[in-house]
């Protein structure tokens, strides 16, 4: 008689903490703990608070994926009982070795654009009954093609009336290339209760990048009755930006015309233009300073905004202006290393503006020659796009 013995390879878990989640108005704070990459499936979670055992927690059955198991445990604490100075730990006990994780006490940062190959989402529905339910994942409103990418975990408990209440978590893993600016993943949970369907969204943003701001030389129109000031904002992320104009440190009123283009996407960053149109008489008023003020979320609380100013100088040649490139002291150090690039960019923009002026003049002269005398002239607007 022959006896064949087979032994499976045992692998211990790797444990990750899941940071507190929940809205600011929620009564409970939820902590989580995820154990991954273990085999066989037998694994037991335990929790401690300040090294004292906590018994009221949920442990989901492990799920097999790619020949290894993943397990999740969750614990909830009343918001009024949660002190960030307290230490919560979860321990995953396994035959191949134990592992533990400590829950961070600081609030989680907003989600950032992932740099790894994959990014994972989790969606939890708590205390529903009956058990029959369904999760769906949507990408910009369309169902994720391979629903099998989602992993669903279920747990249960009994309330004070003996009713069995269920908790379910669905996890979705996608390639990081699928999770970029403008992409929204939605978790749709459907149960058999009386309540309507519940949607939860997850959006992403990249690391913020501080804009560079340039005030271009004024563009005097062919009619010489109007001058356009241009503020060029470049290399910022994300795309939301606000530009306002000041005249002698007072917000420009209806006597001035201003507009800002939509943010244009370049190579991982955005750029935009803002224009202020003034009459020649307004422009040549002595000692009047025009400023563009740029607001962006990348600017810290001490800087708050970037200001660029310009004004007419009567003691110089026409259109020669006093260009003020000063910025708050807190911003100077950050910009010193790019002054050479700034100067080159400014020169190129000046040359492009000059060519734009010549082209505009030529077009208007040709239009004048080809039209009968006395016909009204139509205003032509040319938009110049500068590629980064």
Backbone angles phi, psi at 173, to 5 degrees: -120, 125
Coil, strand, or helix at residue 183?
coil
**What is the structure's pLDDT at 320?**
36
- Contact in structure between 119 and 179 (CB atoms under 8 Å): yes
- Show which of 85, 108, 131 is a domain's final residue: 108
Q: Are residues 351 and 366 in the same domain?
A: yes
* Residue 238 exposure: Cα atoms within 13 Å on the Cβ side: 11
Q: Are residues 217 and 182 in the same domain?
A: no
Distance CA 251, CA 290 (A): 10
- Contact in structure between 15 and 65 (CB atoms under 8 Å): no
**What is the structure's pLDDT at 56?**
84
- Helices (runs of H) and strands (runs of E) counted in the chain: 3, 26
DSSP H or E stretch at residue 59? strand 58-59
Beta bridge mates, 196: none
Distance CA 229, CA 214 (A): 11
**What is the structure's pLDDT at 194?**
58
Q: What percentage of the chain exceeds 90 in pLDDT?
A: 12
**What is the structure's pLDDT at 26?**
57
**What is the structure's pLDDT at 214?**
93
Distance CA 101, CA 16 (A): 6
Q: Which residues contact 219 (CB under 8 A, 6 or more apart)?
A: 227, 228, 229, 230, 353, 356, 357
Tell me, yes or no, whether 381 lies in a domain.
Answer: no
**What is the structure's pLDDT at 355?**
67
Backbone angles phi, psi at 236, to 5 degrees: -115, 155
Structure tokens at 293: 């003020």
Pairing label, strands 164-175, 150-158: antiparallel
**What is the structure's pLDDT at 345?**
60
- Show which of 206, 241, 259 is a domain's final residue: 206
Q: Are residues 318 and 220 in the same domain?
A: yes
Q: Are residues 238 and 360 in the same domain?
A: yes
Tell me, yes or no, whether 386 lies in a domain.
Answer: no
**What is the structure's pLDDT at 186?**
81
**What is the structure's pLDDT at 163?**
84
**What is the structure's pLDDT at 195?**
56
In whole angstroms, how far apart are CA 119 and each of 30, 50, 104, 137, 179? 21, 32, 20, 14, 8
Is cis: bond before 189, omega within 30 of 0?
no
Structure tokens at 202: 């997850």
Burial of 54 (0-12, 13-18, 19+ CB in 10 A): middle
Distance CA 64, CA 62 (A): 7
Coil, strand, or helix at residue 324?
strand
Q: Are residues 190 and 311 in the same domain?
A: no
DSSP H or E stretch at residue 281? helix 280-283
In whole angstroms, how far apart are CA 11 and each of 18, 154, 196? 22, 24, 43
Q: Are residues 90 and 127 in the same domain?
A: no
Backbone angles phi, psi at 113, to 5 degrees: -65, 125
Q: Are residues 321 and 248 in the same domain?
A: yes
Radius of gyration of the chain (CA): 31
Total domains present in the chain:
3
Q: pLDDT under 70 in the chain at which residues?
A: 1-8, 19-27, 105-116, 145-154, 181-182, 193-206, 220-223, 301-303, 314-350, 352-388
**What is the structure's pLDDT at 249?**
87
Tell me, yes or no, whether 266 lies in a domain.
Answer: yes
**Terminal alpha carbon distance of the chain:** 79
Q: Are residues 231 and 355 in the same domain?
A: yes
Q: Are residues 326 and 363 in the same domain?
A: yes
Burial of 116 (0-12, 13-18, 19+ CB in 10 A): exposed
Of 207, 190, 208, nearest in space to 198 by CA = 190
Domain that holds residue 151: 114-206
pTM for this model (two decimals)? 0.38
Pairing label, strands 305-312, 270-279: unpaired
The CATH number assigned to the domain holding 364 equals 2.60.40.10
Tell me, yes or no, whether 292 lies in a domain.
Answer: yes
Tell me, yes or no, whether 384 lies in a domain.
Answer: no
Maximum CA extent, the chain = 116
Tell me, yes or no, whether 338 lies in a domain.
Answer: yes
Q: What is the DSSP letter of 339?
A: H
Tell me, yes or no, whether 245 lies in a domain.
Answer: yes
């Amino acid at each position: 008689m022959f006896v064949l013995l087979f032994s499976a390879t045992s692998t211990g878990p790797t444990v990750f903490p899941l940071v507190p989640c929940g809205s600011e108005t929620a009564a409970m704070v939820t902590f989580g703990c995820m154990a991954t990459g273990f085999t066989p499936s037998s694994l037991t979670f335990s929790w401690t608070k300040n090294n004292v055992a906590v018994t009221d927690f949920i442990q989901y059955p492990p799920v097999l994926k790619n020949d290894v198991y993943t397990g999740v445990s969750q614990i909830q604490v009343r918001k009024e009982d949660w002190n960030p100075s307290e230490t919560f730990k979860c321990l995953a006990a396994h035959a191949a070795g134990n592992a533990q994780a400590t829950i961070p006490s600081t609030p989680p940062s907003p989600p950032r654009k992932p740099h790894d190959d994959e990014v994972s989402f989790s969606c939890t529905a708590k205390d529903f009954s009956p058990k029959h339910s369904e999760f769906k994942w949507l990408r910009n409103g369309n169902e994720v093609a391979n629903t099998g990418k989602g992993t669903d975990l279920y747990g249960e408990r009994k309330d004070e009336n003996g009713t069995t209440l269920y908790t379910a978590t669905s996890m979705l893993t996608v390639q990081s290339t699928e999770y970029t600016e403008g992409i929204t993943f939605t978790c749709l949970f459907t149960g058999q209760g009386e309540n309507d369907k519940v949607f939860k969204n997850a959006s992403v943003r990249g690391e913020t990048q501080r804009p560079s701001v340039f005030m271009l030389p004024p563009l005097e129109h062919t009619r010489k009755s109007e001058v356009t000031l241009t503020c060029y904002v470049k290399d910022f992320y994300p795309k939301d930006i606000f530009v306002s104009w000041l005249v002698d440190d007072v917000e420009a009123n209806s006597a001035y015309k201003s507009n800002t283009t939509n943010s244009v996407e370049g190579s991982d960053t955005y750029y935009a233009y803002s224009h202020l149109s003034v009459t020649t008489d307004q422009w040549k008023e002595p000692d009047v300073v025009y400023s563009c003020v740029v607001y962006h979320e990348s600017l810290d609380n001490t800087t708050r905004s970037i200001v660029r100013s310009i004004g007419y100088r009567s003691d110089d040649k026409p259109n020669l202006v006093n260009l003020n490139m000063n910025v708050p002291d807190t911003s100077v150090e950050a910009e010193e290393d790019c002054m050479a690039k700034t100067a080159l960019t400014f020169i190129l923009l000046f040359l492009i503006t000059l060519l734009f002026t010549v082209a505009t003049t030529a077009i208007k002269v040709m239009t004048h020659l080809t039209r009968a005398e006395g016909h009204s002239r139509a205003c032509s607007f040319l938009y110049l796009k500068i590629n980064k």
